[in-house]
């Protein structure tokens, strides 16, 4: 949660897989992992795991070579998938119309074709992210080179705040009226350009952990809203939603997370949650992270005090009260620094023990009133899976600096996804 402000600005800056300017088209052959890698090259298998939400996962670390830098780098590509209720030719037509991206993605204001030769195009996109805080307004140009194939568009970053990166969008026909769309990308977050972007990432380096997942989610959420119309599901009081997964799918999640050392995350469909007389539409994200350690080693990280150990720079103070035998109330005093700006707020959560390895939490008062979720440790034959599910809405009565984040696109889903990702990876850093 402390990384919300930075993550939203940063991931939108790197929209569409944003690196050094080139005068003409660049010849290159993308050597990126396919999104179906690990799923037996089966679009149907990946679609079944994706379900009716968005699935996000990482690949194992690998050497990365691009024509925009000289020496080989090492990094991880991140993939995401969504199933759309439209034929594949409609998806292909939309994604191949680069000038239409300004209407598809909410941060893009214009798209200008710089050069085009056969199936290769170099396009300059204008990104504008306005906020009520002038110093945090972002406006910049991004130059991307797109290369169309039969069922994919490979993208090379030419000039952007994330100066080195590449990726591809793929589409697979599942039936006459259903298409699996995937996005795979890598971006070098170690060398950001531009004063604002660099200042934000330097102030909150943990935000880099959640940025790749957020970028993929941003792209596929735009496509999902273009082609899907859904009605929020009613969530019974006290429930935390979860993806419906078979035993074999849980084994697949464990294998993917164990190999990549990153969480496998699901962005679930919208739910209608009751807060007294008020109904709030919330988007839950559910993340699964594999750890080599047994459940007993993970259990301390379920405690409310653990957050301060994970985020000591942001969480200044924690006060714990116990209103009942199975409840703990935690009052967090938080301050997020963004250079010359400090964002202080109070965050109050009630933790409800559900079992020895499970708890749920919900906001009670504080500056963030609509937060809900849970954590559960799932012992495995070797090691453990930690499942973190959460949703967060910033309401219209939040303090000004928090309320400003409501101007960001998809502010109702990206903070929870990023928070899950950062939390699970910070725990991984601590227990190694």
Is residue 380 within 8 Å of residue 254, measured between CB atoms? Answer: yes
pLDDT in tens, 203-232: 788 989 999 999 999 999 999 999 998 899
Rounded Cα gap, residues 376 and 299, in angstroms: 9
Q: Is residue 181 part of a domain?
A: yes
Per-residue pLDDT, 225: 96
Q: Is residue 16 part of a domain?
A: yes
Domain that holds residue 318: 290-431
Q: Is residue 249 part of a domain?
A: no
Q: Is residue 238 part of a domain?
A: no
Rounded Cα gap, residues 257 and 47, in angstroms: 18
Is 88 in the same domain as 222? yes
Q: Residues 418-425: what's their mean pLDDT?
A: 97
Rounded Cα gap, residues 142 and 161, in angstroms: 8
Q: Is residue 277 part of a domain?
A: no
**Could you please report the per-residue DSSP string of 9-41?**
HHHHHTTT------SS----------TTTTTTT
Per-residue pLDDT, 130: 81
Per-residue pLDDT, 83: 99
Q: Has residue 277 got a pLDDT over 90? A: no
Tell me the backbone φ, ψ of residue 246, rounded to 5 degrees.
-80, 170
Residue 295 makes CB contacts below 8 A (sequence gap 6+) with 357, 377, 379, 384
Residue 31 makes CB contacts below 8 A (sequence gap 6+) with 65
Domain boundary among 178, 206, 227: 227
Q: Residues 75-81: what's their mean pLDDT?
A: 98
Is 299 in the same domain as 209? no
Q: Residues 144-172: what's their mean pLDDT?
A: 96
Is 212 in the same domain as 315? no
Q: How many domains does the chain have?
A: 2
Any idea which of 14-23, 47-56, 109-118, 352-361 has the lowest mean pLDDT? 14-23
Is 336 in the same domain as 190? no
pLDDT in tens, 304-353: 999 999 999 899 999 999 999 999 999 999 988 776 677 888 989 999 99
Domain boundary among 227, 250, 274: 227
Is 216 in the same domain as 82? yes
Any idea which of 22-31, 199-208, 291-300, 422-431 has the lowest mean pLDDT? 22-31
Per-residue pLDDT, 393: 93
Is 294 in the same domain as 215? no
Is 19 in the same domain as 118? yes
Is 211 in the same domain as 62? yes
Tell me the backbone φ, ψ of residue 313, rounded to 5 degrees.
-75, -30
Domain boundary among 177, 198, 227: 227
Q: Is residue 123 part of a domain?
A: yes
Please tell me the pTM assigned to this model.
0.92
Is 43 in the same domain as 192? yes
Rounded Cα gap, residues 311 and 318, in angstroms: 12
Is 25 in the same domain as 123? yes
Burial (CB count <10 Å: 0-12, 13-18, 19+), residue 72:
exposed
Q: Is residue 83 part of a domain?
A: yes
Rounded Cα gap, residues 426 and 308, in angstroms: 12
- Comparing CA positions, the residue from 250, 187, 230, 213 lying closest to residue 83 is 230
Tracing tokens 């250079």 back to the chain, one arrives at: 339
CATH code of the domain containing 295: 3.30.530.20
pLDDT in tens, 347-377: 899 999 999 999 999 999 889 989 999 999 9
pLDDT band of residue 237 (cuts 50, 70, 90) is confident
Q: Give the SS3 label for residue 50.
A: helix
Is residue 393 within 8 Å of residue 384, measured between CB atoms? Answer: no
**Average model confidence (pLDDT) for the chain?**
90
Is 219 in the same domain as 333? no
Q: Is residue 280 part of a domain?
A: no
Is 204 in the same domain as 305? no
Here the tokens at position 347 are: 């965050």
């Amino acid at each position: 949660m402390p990384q919300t402000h930075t993550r939203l600005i940063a991931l939108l800056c790197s929209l569409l897989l944003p690196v050094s300017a080139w005068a003409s088209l660049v010849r290159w052959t993308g050597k990126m992992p396919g999104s179906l890698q690990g799923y037996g090259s089966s679009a149907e298998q990946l679609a079944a795991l994706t379900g009716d939400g968005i699935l996000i996962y990482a690949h194992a670390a690998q050497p990365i070579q691009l024509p925009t830098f000289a020496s080989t780098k090492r990094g991880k590509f991140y993939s995401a998938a969504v199933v759309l209720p439209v034929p594949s030719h409609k998806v292909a037509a939309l994604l191949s119309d680069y000038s239409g991206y300004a209407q598809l993605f909410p941060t893009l204001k214009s798209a200008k074709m710089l050069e085009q030769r056969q199936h290769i195009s170099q396009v300059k996109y204008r990104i504008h992210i306005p906020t009520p805080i002038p110093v945090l307004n972002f406006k910049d140009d991004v130059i991307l080179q797109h290369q169309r194939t039969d069922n994919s568009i490979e993208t090379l970053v030419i000039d952007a705040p994330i100066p080195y990166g590449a990726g591809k969008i793929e589409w697979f026909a599942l039936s006459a009226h259903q298409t699996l769309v995937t996005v795979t990308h890598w971006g070098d977050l170690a060398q950001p350009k531009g004063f604002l972007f660099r200042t934000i990432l330097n102030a909150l380096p943990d935000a880099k952990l959640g940025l790749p997942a957020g970028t993929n989610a941003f792209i596929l959420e735009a496509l999902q809203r273009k082609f899907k119309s859904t009605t929020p599901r009613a969530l019974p009081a006290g429930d935390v939603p979860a993806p419906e997964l078979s035993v074999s799918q849980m084994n697949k999640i464990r294998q993917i997370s164990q190999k990549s050392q990153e969480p496998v995350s699901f962005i679930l469909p919208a739910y209608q949650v009751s807060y007294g007389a008020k109904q709030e539409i919330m988007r839950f994200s559910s993340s699964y992270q594999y750890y080599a350690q047994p459940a007993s080693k993970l259990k301390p990280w379920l405690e409310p005090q653990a957050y301060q150990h994970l985020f000591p720079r942001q969480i200044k103070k924690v006060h714990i009260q116990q209103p009942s035998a199975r409840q703990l109330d935690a009052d967090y005093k938080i301050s997020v620094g963004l250079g010359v700006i400090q964002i202080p707020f109070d965050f109050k959560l009630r933790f409800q023990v559900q079992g020895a390895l499970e708890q749920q939490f919900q906001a009670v008062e504080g500056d963030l009133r609509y937060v809900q979720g849970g954590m559960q440790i799932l012992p495995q034959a070797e090691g453990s899976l930690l499942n973190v599910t959460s949703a967060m809405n910033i309401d219209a009565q939040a303090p000004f600096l928090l309320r400003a984040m409501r101007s960001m696109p998809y502010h109702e889903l990206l903070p929870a996804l990023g928070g899950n990702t950062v939390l699970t990876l910070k725990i991984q850093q601590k227990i190694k």
